[in-house]
Amino acid sequence: MSDRLPLSAFIIAKDEADRIGRAIASVVDWVDEVIVIDSGSSDDTVRVAENLGARVVHNAWPGYGPQKRFGEDQCRNDWLLNLDADEEITPDLRSEIETLFRSDRHLDADSWRIMIRDVFAHESEPAPWAYGYHQIRLYDRRQGRFSESSVHDTVRPLEGTTTKNLNGIMGHRSIRSLDFQVGKYNRYSNMQVEDMRTRGRSLPRWRLLTEFPVSFLKGYFARQYWRYGWWGLILSMNYAHGRFLRVAKAYEAELLSATSK
């Protein structure tokens, strides 16, 4: 029996030379193939990925959901493992997935949710209290695929299929630096406002007053950023600012739309 699982791992990327190595290295030795969908990197992303054994396919950026659907189509196996360039499979999660496939227990569900927890630049692994969220990342593409949304990259299982949770954790190194984080919030808020306006959705103006303080408290207490000490205070402030930007830009777009009529 081959040591590799009949499983395709795929990663979308652009200018991720400093982070994608961890992602590929965490899966390349035990899955059937690793595919990187690059949307036009100007750094060494392609070289790093190919040197580590991944197959790189270029596709111009169509948005998050469509790009991941393109990635699904490049895979030769029906069972897929998706991770982002800033994520990595932990040893415990790898062992759990290998055990599932060796015993065919992966067939107990059509898709599996994985807990994705934050890892910061000064950390080697997620803290026990690190903020996390479940997402379907291991799944049979015949029973569900990523949505077409250009903003939200979420697997949509077919009606009547079964989804279960894995116990292992995926590490998420989303913040290279505070400078990078601020830029990321700025880009994401632009996309979120564009998506809302496309769908005809608006936000009530009173949220301009409440969004920042409520989001700060959510970050500091609900996400347990307080456990990080001063670093947690910074995280909470930046999280609140990112949430406020979305509301502020939505209001700005309404003003501009009204004056252009």
Match 């990635």 to its residue by tokens. Answer: 71
pLDDT of residue 70: 98
Long-range contacts of 135-138 (CB under 8 A, 24+ apart): 136/111, 136/112, 136/163, 137/81, 137/82, 137/83, 137/112, 137/113, 137/170, 138/7, 138/79, 138/80, 138/81, 138/82, 138/97, 138/106, 138/111, 138/112, 138/114, 138/166
* pLDDT average, residue stretch 213-237: 98
pTM, rounded to two decimals? 0.89
Is residue 136 predicted with pLDDT exceeding 50? Answer: yes
- When pLDDT is cut at 50, 70 and 90, the band that residue 151 belongs to is confident
* pLDDT average, residue stretch 40-45: 98
The torsion angle over the Cα atoms of residues 238, 239, 245 and 247, rounded to 10 degrees, is: -150
Q: Are 120 and 175 in contact (CB under 8 A)?
A: yes
- When pLDDT is cut at 50, 70 and 90, the band that residue 150 belongs to is confident
Domain positions in the chain are 5-172, 178-259
| Cα–Cα dist 49/36, whole Å | 7
Reported in sequence order, the residue ranges of the chain that DSSP labels E, i.e. its strands, are 5-13, 31-38, 55-58, 79-82, 87-89, 111-118, 132-140, 144-146, 155-157, 163-172
Pairing of β 87-89 and β 31-38: unpaired
pLDDT of residue 32: 98
pLDDT of residue 260: 78
CATH of domain 5-172: 3.90.550.10
Query: For 156-215, how does the pLDDT look when each residue is reduced to its tens digit (9 = 90+)?
Result: 999 999 999 999 999 999 999 999 999 999 999 999 999 899 999 999 999 999 999 999
Closest alpha carbon to 96 in 86, 108, 84:
108
Structure tokens at 88: 């990595």
Q: What residues form DSSP beta bridges with 31?
A: 5
Q: Are 54 and 45 in contact (CB under 8 A)?
A: no
- When pLDDT is cut at 50, 70 and 90, the band that residue 261 belongs to is low
Structure tokens at 238: 């930046």
pLDDT of residue 2: 63
Structure tokens at 2: 């081959």
**How crowded is residue 75: how many other Cβ atoms within 10 Å of its Cβ?**
20
pLDDT of residue 1: 41
The set of residues, in sequence order, having a beta carbon less than 8 Å from that of 105 and lying 6+ positions away, is 99
* pLDDT average, residue stretch 112-121: 97
Mean pLDDT of the chain: 96
Q: Are 119 and 99 in contact (CB under 8 A)?
A: no
Q: Are 40 and 58 in contact (CB under 8 A)?
A: yes
pLDDT of residue 29: 97
| Cα–Cα dist 162/110, whole Å | 5
